[in-house]
Amino acid sequence: MLRRMIIDAHGHYTTVPPGLRVFRALQISNMGRPVKGKVAISDDEIRASLEKGQLKLLDERGIDVMLFSPMASAMGHHFGNALISRHWTEVNNDLIHRVCALYPDRFVGVCSLPQSPGVGPRESIEELDRCIEELGFVGCNLNPDPSGGHWTGPPLGDEAWYPLYERLEKLEAAAMMHASATCNPAFHTTGSHYLNVDSTAFMQLMESRIFQDFPKLRIIISHGGGNVPYQAARYRALCLMNKWEPFEAFVKRLYFDTTVYNREAMELLVKVVGADNVLFASEMLGGVTTIDPATNRFFDDNKPCLDAIASLTDEDRRKIFEQNALRAYPRLGPILARHRREKTVGA
Amino acid sequence: MLRRMIIDAHGHYTTVPPGLRVFRALQISNMGRPVKGKVAISDDEIRASLEKGQLKLLDERGIDVMLFSPMASAMGHHFGNALISRHWTEVNNDLIHRVCALYPDRFVGVCSLPQSPGVGPRESIEELDRCIEELGFVGCNLNPDPSGGHWTGPPLGDEAWYPLYERLEKLEAAAMMHASATCNPAFHTTGSHYLNVDSTAFMQLMESRIFQDFPKLRIIISHGGGNVPYQAARYRALCLMNKWEPFEAFVKRLYFDTTVYNREAMELLVKVVGADNVLFASEMLGGVTTIDPATNRFFDDNKPCLDAIASLTDEDRRKIFEQNALRAYPRLGPILARHRREKTVGA
């Protein structure tokens, strides 16, 4: 029997070489006449950016595989128009693809989408198809508020989103709800906007009929679900008052990651949504890249938080570290199996 | 020694007689030329609205006094202009004053403010003064987003808010952060907007220098702080990364109410912010007016949740049920003492 794998379901390429920022800067210079320039980044630069960063930390923390996506705050869907968003998204996804090709047994790709305020989610399908079918990615990050904190778009239950859901379901690709930076001074990107988006996405889904219409749609709410486990009683009451599907049944339709960096919070999460619906994830390198003086570990070194939850059985741990991710991302299992075979043949 | 009082720090007059809605409806009819009509509500109607509602529940649940404010969702600061908001706020506050005059030992007034998008918080001072100094109220509800979910105004740390903070500090009146209904289809009023506003207000305050500039300002974050206790590790990390005052010290500058309707959530709240900074509150009749099948009690019948937290000492309970409210609302103690004297004399 193979040993249990530890899959980290939420990591971003936040350590990108400067070539990508050069590309982005030139998008401002060319705002009025967008051109898709070239990204000048060598394989050595990619290796250096990861071997001192995410890869080193994966090794140190005993994590086998990370689902890897472009920098979330830098997706910046609110910047420029749909064509600018498309160019930027493509080069970011291509870069993730290069990472996955360099380290096929450590990183598996999750794409960002070329969303843009006022542009229908249908317009993201082409890039989703390319990433899933051509580049071998297993899912996408979906930004419920491409306006970056102005909340000008339709809620997730609106049928404007349906073509994208239909495609995700058909591709067996999962969508992690994840905001980008806010351009609204009312919010702090990682301190309030991300979490508002998580909680708001949850509420939009809960009052929608998405899962009646797309029963196999796979959605992950990031950052531990925002406020969901803590405010569960309020959500339970709303379901009862509105005669919606009971909260306890509804949360089983979703996955929640463990990026809350604290044992008590993780324990509440698992208690509220159940061990079948939690994906281990660190979000590294993400919003909390500093050492917690209470533990002397980096905040995002959060596997020990899960390890410390006494109430979890071995089976629960196996689900949270591995099996739930394989269920949430059906394309992941075959990819990992292929790499395992190739590694065995190569060894 | 007097027996311990139980103070409910968060109640709204959601059971208003229809006369108030008639007034509101006519505000739409007269949008182009706002007139302050009269509110036709008799004392008997007020009595009937409370004796079958909040007052009955206070009695059943053993709560002595409720801090009582106008309906929050109906504040509707986003509707109409500043003059419309002023008329509406005045009649609502006057109605609360009538309630407090009818039941002086059961209800103490908390006002709403005539906020309006794009209008400076300074413009709310006159009504605040009237309510605190003339009507005998002890604080106000402050809406961090008078645009109702479009978040068009300055964050709470912006100096535009300072005249109001200065006045609150001088009056020794507390401000409970509390949203009104959202007019943005992205949000659900009680399911996401309220909680986003709570969490966002917390984050705006945490990255501001408000408490350096107004060290005696008394602020309550409602609904258990939105996501604060659950996401504490993220906030702790942000304080460290930004060299802000440590999270543990910052939360001591605020109060949080207990309107989370669940023992585990309340326990996490008390653990994270401490028993000195939690105010017992039920928010009734508010967003969760239904029976929880898990307990056979109404969700907002939440005193048993606190009672069930084994780790609380008698002193902790006395703080949460009574003493913290007296600290947060310094004008409350003298009002309660006066009513106690009058009752003794009258008896």
> What tokens does A314 get?
């071995």
pLDDT in tens, B76-135: 999 999 999 999 999 999 999 999 999 999 999 999 999 999 999 999 999 999 999 999
Residue A244 lies in a domain: yes
Report d(CA A217, CA A211) in Å as an integer: 7
Closest CA to B49 of B8, B86, B12: B12
Residue A2 lies in a domain: no
Instruction: Name which of B150, B236, B262 is nearest A232 (Cβ-Cβ).
Output: B262
Chunked in runs of 10, what are the mean pLDDT values of chain B (347 residues)? 83 96 95 94 97 94 97 97 98 98 97 98 98 98 98 98 98 98 98 98 98 98 98 98 98 98 97 98 91 94 96 97 98 94 74
The CA distances from residue A292 to B33, B76, B188, B197, B206, in Å, are 58, 42, 35, 27, 18
Interface of A with B in 177-196 (CB under 8 A): 184-188, 190-192, 195-196
* C-beta separation of B332 from B326 below 8 A: yes
Residue B1 lies in a domain: no
Measured between CB atoms, does B290 come within 8 Å of chain A? yes
CATH number, residue A231:
3.20.20.140
Measured between CB atoms, does B251 come within 8 Å of chain A? no
Task: Output the CA angle B64-B67-B72, nearest 5 degrees.
Answer: 135
| Burial bucket for residue B295 (CB in 10 Å: 0-12, 13-18, 19+) | middle
> What tokens does A289 get?
């890249």
- The answer, yes or no, to whether residue A341 has pLDDT greater than 90, is no
Counting the structural domains of chain B, the total is 1
Cis before A336 (ω within 30): no
Closest CA to B301 of B74, B96, B59: B59
pLDDT in tens, A198-223: 999 999 999 999 999 999 999 999 99
Taking an 8 Å cut-off on Cβ atoms, the answer to whether A230 and B203 are in contact is no
Residue B163 lies in a domain: yes
The complex scores an ipTM of 0.97
Widest CA span of chain A, in angstroms?
Answer: 60
> Which one of B190, B195, B207 makes the best mutation probe of the A interface by having the most chain A beta carbons within 10 Å?
B195
Phi then psi for residue A219, to 5 deg, are -125, 135
The residue range of the domain holding A280 is 7-346
The CA distances from residue A108 to A42, A212, A279, in Å, are 20, 30, 15
Query: Which pLDDT belongs to residue A286?
Result: 84
SS3 for A254? strand
Residue B252 lies in a domain: yes
Report d(CA A174, CA A254) in Å as an integer: 10
Residue B87 lies in a domain: yes
Residue A310 lies in a domain: yes
Question: What is the pTM for the complete model shown?
Answer: 0.97
| Burial bucket for residue A107 (CB in 10 Å: 0-12, 13-18, 19+) | buried
Residue A311 lies in a domain: yes
Number of H helices, E strands in chain B: 15, 10
Taking an 8 Å cut-off on Cβ atoms, the answer to whether B192 and A200 are in contact is yes
